[in-house]
Amino acid sequence: MFNELEPIPHFKLTDFVRVPVWRNGKEYIVYTGKKYRRRYTLTTLPDCIKSKITVANCLATNYKNDYEISIHDIFVCEDYTGAEDTAWRASENMYVVIIHVNDFYELQGEIIDSRKEDKE
């Protein structure tokens, strides 16, 4: 749908990333970089993403049809689509989840843990 989608840093939460996730039937496509995507099923989807999609589904009281959304709709959380610091549902099948950069690096295949509590 959006070939050029890519994650972007959260604008107010440091060390967090806004990651687009597209549900295509039973498949979840996680956008990990420009022109890079990882494909999962519900059983293989990482817990950090699966839990946020559940939250977005619970919080979204209204959302657009897939054919109506734009890039703006994907990366801007409206009050009725979810919570901007957790996750939201931009359309029927498009979600944005907020995950820690360490979880994001792991999605990309890198394991770098910079959390303060882990350094002690």
pLDDT tens-digit profile of 76-112? Answer: 889 999 999 999 999 999 999 999 988 888 887 755 5
Task: Collect all residues with Cβ–Cβ distance below 8 Å to 29 and sequence separation of at least 6.
Answer: 21, 22, 23, 37, 38, 39
DSSP code string of 23-58: EETTEEEEEEETTEEEEEETTTS-HHHHHHHHHHHH
pLDDT at residue number 96: 95
- Rounded Cα distance between 10 and 4, Å, is 18
pLDDT > 90 in the chain, percent: 55
pLDDT at residue number 18: 93
Task: Report the predicted TM-score, pTM, of the whole model to 2 decimal places.
Answer: 0.85
Mean pLDDT (whole number) for 2-25: 84
pLDDT at residue number 59: 94
Residue 117 has pLDDT above 80, yes or no: no
97 close to 90: Cβ distance less than 8 angstroms: no
Mean pLDDT (whole number) for 8-30: 88
Task: Collect all residues with Cβ–Cβ distance below 8 Å to 109 and sequence separation of at least 6.
Answer: none
